[in-house]
Copies of this chain bind each other. A is one copy, B any other.
Amino acid sequence: MDTGDVPSEVLPGRATLVSVAEAAGVSRQTVSNALRAPGKVAPDTLERVLAAVEELGYRPSLAARQLRTRRSRTLGLRLEHWGGGISGSVLDRFLHALVDEAQDREHRVVLFTADDDAGEVAGYDELLTTAQVDGFVLTSTHAGDGRTAWLAGRGVPFATFGRPWPDDDAPAGPAEAAHCWVDVDGAAGTRAATEHLLATGHRAPAFLGWPAGSGTGEDRRRGWAEALDAAGVPARERRELAVPESTAAAASAVAAALEAPGAPSAVVCASDTLALGARGAAARHRAALEVVGFDDTPVAAAIGMSSVAQPLAEAAHLVVDLLVAQVETGGAGPPQTCQHLLAPRLVVRSSPA
C-alpha cells in the first residue's frame, strides 16, 4: 500500500485490460503492447505487467478485439450429411483434425448446415456479415462447383479439401481454378494397393468402383489401371465393376463376378463401403478373395481388412495453414504454393479366416 490507490472491485466481472493496467500501475495500451508486441516495452515494465496478467488471470475478450480489428479468428465449415456408406468417418476424422489444427493456431471452428450448395452460399453470407468469419473450409468439391466462384468473387479467403474437378460445361477459366486446395492422391493409393496385390501373387486384381462421373472415382480407378499397365496385364484379363456407394450393390456385383469364368483372386475397391460388400460376397461363396478398401475406416481395422489410409491430419494442417496465410496477407494474393496433393498410405492387414 504505497500509493493510496486501492485496486477496484474485481469480484464480479472478468479481468480486463484496464484492470490489469491499474494493477500493474501502467496504462491499458502498455498492457496491450506487453502481450502483443513485447519488444516495445521496457524489460522491467514487461515483467510487472506479465505478473499482473498472470495474477488476475487476464484473457482478452475476443468480441472486443473482433470489433476493433475486424478479424474473428474463426473459420466456418458446412457440416454435411454424409448419408449412406461407412466412409462418413473420413470427414468426421478430418473435422476432428481440423479443429485440432485450428486450435493450435488460436482459431475456432463454427459449423453450419445447409440443404444444398445455394443454402451453403447463403450460410457463408450470413456468417460473413454477422459473425465476420475470417474464412471457410469446403469439403466435397465437385464438378461445376458454384461455391468457390462465389467466395473468390468477393475475395473471401477459403480452402477446399478436395481438388477442383473439371467442369464439363464451362471450360474453367484459368483464374477460377486457381484457388487453394489440399487433396489426397487417390490414384497413388489404388496404384500402391494394386502393386501390393501383384507382388503377393495375384495375377490381375479387379477394380470395384463407382459409376463414371465422379472425379474422385475416376482418380482412384486410374491408379489401378496404371499399375496394371506397368505390370503388362493385358486388357482381356482386367475385371472392372462399377456400382453405387452401397455395400449391398457391391456384394451382388462381386457375387456375379465370382460365379463368372475367370473370377478374380483379388479386388481393389474405391471405398471401404464397397470393400465390405465384396468381402461379404466372398464369404458367402467361400471364395478366397483378397480385398483392399479405401479410407481405412474403423470398420476396416475391425475386420482386419487392408485399406488405403488418407493422411487426414496432415491435410487438415495444410488447409488451416493455407487459410490463415490468406487471412493474414489480407487477400493480397494467395501464397506461392497453394495446392497440395498428398500421398496416401497403404495399410496391409492379414484378413483372418
* A residues 119-148 in Cβ contact with B at 8 Å: 126, 129-132
Q: Does A178 have its Cβ within 8 Å of any Cβ on chain B?
A: no
Cα distance A304–B273 in the bound complex, in angstroms: 14
How many A residues touch B, CB cutoff 8 Å? 56
Cα distance A247–B353 in the bound complex, in angstroms: 14
Q: Does A60 have its Cβ within 8 Å of any Cβ on chain B?
A: yes
- The stretch among A86-94, A189-197, A201-209 that forms the contact with chain B is A86-94
Q: Tell me whether A299 and B61 are in contact in the complex, defined as CB-CB below 8 angstroms, given that A92-B92, A113-B99 are known contacts.
A: no
Q: Tell me whether A113 and B89 are in contact in the complex, defined as CB-CB below 8 angstroms, given that A72-B63, A299-B247 are known contacts.
A: no
Q: Does A51 have its Cβ within 8 Å of any Cβ on chain B?
A: no
Q: Are B113 and A103 in contact (CB under 8 A)?
A: yes
Residue of B nearest to A95 (CB): B79
Q: Are B62 and A131 in contact (CB under 8 A)?
A: yes
1/0 per residue, CB under 8 A from B, across A291-317: the answer is 000000111011110000000000000
Cα distance A60–B86 in the bound complex, in angstroms: 40
Cα distance A63–B89 in the bound complex, in angstroms: 34
Q: Are A64 and B67 in contact (CB under 8 A)?
A: yes
Cα distance A72–B353 in the bound complex, in angstroms: 55
Cα distance A129–B61 in the bound complex, in angstroms: 7
Q: Tell me whether A86 and B298 are in contact in the complex, defined as CB-CB below 8 angstroms, given that A63-B66, A129-B14 are known contacts.
A: yes
Contacts of A105 in B (CB 8 A): none
- Chain copies in the assembled complex: 2
Q: Are A352 and B130 in contact (CB under 8 A)?
A: no
Q: Does A246 have its Cβ within 8 Å of any Cβ on chain B?
A: yes
* A residues 99-121 in Cβ contact with B at 8 Å: 99-100, 103, 108-113
Contacts of A74 in B (CB 8 A): 110
Q: Are A96 and B109 in contact (CB under 8 A)?
A: no
Q: Does A348 have its Cβ within 8 Å of any Cβ on chain B?
A: no
Q: Are B248 and A130 in contact (CB under 8 A)?
A: no
A291 to chain B, nearest CB (A): 14
1/0 per residue, CB under 8 A from B, across A260-284: the answer is 0000000000000100110010011
Q: Are B298 and A85 in contact (CB under 8 A)?
A: yes
Q: Are B99 and A112 in contact (CB under 8 A)?
A: yes
Cα distance A301–B246 in the bound complex, in angstroms: 9
Query: Of the candidates B61, B302, B352, which one forms a contact with A132 in the assembled complex, judged by CB atoms under 8 Å apart?
Result: B61
Cα distance A277–B303 in the bound complex, in angstroms: 8
Residue of B nearest to A304 (CB): B248
* Besides A61-B67, A109-B111, 8 other A-B contacts (C-beta < 8 A): A59-B129, A61-B130, A63-B64, A84-B302, A86-B298, A108-B112, A108-B131, A280-B303
